[in-house]
Structure 1
Amino acid sequence: MVKKASSGLQLSDEDLEILNSPLGLKMLLADKKTNVEKALRLVKSEITFRELQAEIIKLQNWVIEKNKKVVIIFEGRDAAGKGGAIRRVTEHINPRQYRIVALPKPTIEEEGQWYFQRYVNQLPKPGEMVFFDRSWYNRAIVEPVNGFCTKAQYQSFMSQVNSFENMIMDSGIFLIKFYFSISKEEQALRFKQIQSDPLRRWKMTDVDRRAQELWDHYTEFKLKMFEHTNLKTSPWVIIEADKKIEARLKALQYMINFIPYEA
């Protein structure tokens, strides 16, 4: 049976059942002005999230039981939603068997090491998943754009990164490279929202504040990165991220499809 809401939206019996669930009622009451269509969309998305997250739990159990190793890189422009995507992926999995790595500025000692050394130190042990919120690819885009590395250091990185990743995969590590892609307009909107939120304002850095001004420069180095490091053995998975929910669902689904776990 299909019924019509006061807004004119056609609702099936299944839709009504969803909206009358605790989650549905929560979504309906989330805004001051009830928006049935938005609430229904959000509930359906949350149901899909939970289904995919249940599969991620099975995936992690397989990783643990079989002593597998997984590295998942989350790259993208500032405010692209990398951290939020990682939170949805890791929301319900065993916290003792995964790590989120978001390395700060290198120390003086680290600056004197081989560039990849501090990332090698963060690679997973058997039975572990590691999620990089930004990775060694800082040197492919963020560092050269902002003058944090020399041209020689950048060129050295580009000449070594593919071999480095081949060594990672040859050691038995599953490697996924996500790039969350947003538009310039969406980035500007998200920066404005962050700056106006006293609970999130601390997230804005000097690098973030220059991101819009340096947009084209970022694009130039991003395209160079894709051209040189988008290989059949370790491809970039580009996720359109202007819509956060859809981007996070795509990341979850790709992980499930890519890693050959046994339920």
Structure 2
Amino acid sequence: MLNNISINKLAAAAVFTLVSTSSFALTQEQQGLEISQQVKQHDTGWTDSSADMLMILHNAQGQKSIRELKIKTIEQLTDGDKSLTTFNKPRDVKGTAFLSFSHPVEADDQWLYLPALKRVKRISSRNKSGPFMGSQFAFEDLSSFEIEKYSYKYLGDEVINGLDSFKVEQYPVDPHSGYTRRIVWVDKEAYRIQKIDFYDRKNTLLKTLTYTSYRQYLNQYWRADTLNMVNHQNGKSTELKWKNYTFKSGLKDGDFNKNALKRVR
């Protein structure tokens, strides 16, 4: 006759077997989706953020130019995030501002204010694969990560930056994307993106983005101090160096509209 301890052990074993069987039965697509959902879940709840950034442009000959920017972002739990990027230096780009409304399914809304033209230019969804302000980042790279923007496939595990990581392939849903696919490495420890390979419309490796020197804020949210985008086809690269992060400072929706671009002027 079974006692309570034996019954509990059998129940625990049954649950373990059920969970193990369910996990084992997941397809590569389901696994890729689950990992990506964890990435999003681990970076939810920060409300708003501000940061200073250096954008360092490197050409194929090794020459570089440096720009100083300020970036503000507000989290949207029922939509993609909103961000406002302002160029402060050097003089030839001072006052340039970029406003982006990310969306999970619909095309992102993006506007660029160019002081030399004294007007706000809307970025067409068909042009979002173009370079942002001469950098190796495309306009679509500046959109917040939303689960619905991609379909997924888990490719296996790999060590990146000394961390055991998941390797997930992402296929853009938007037909106007400049990429056929992205391969993303996510560390198992905290679900932080470590590296992304971007493949162009010919399915050839175009760019690689690496994330280094992560710091944790509010005992929960991780941000990389340095992002480096290398273009393998033209030999150029763009390095982003972040500092002075602040979170939950009370930014409002009203800080992120076309009037905000006008106030930058």
TM-score (norm 2): 0.26
The structure with more strand, counted as a fraction of residues? 2
The structure with more helix, counted as a fraction of residues? 1
TM-score (norm 1): 0.26
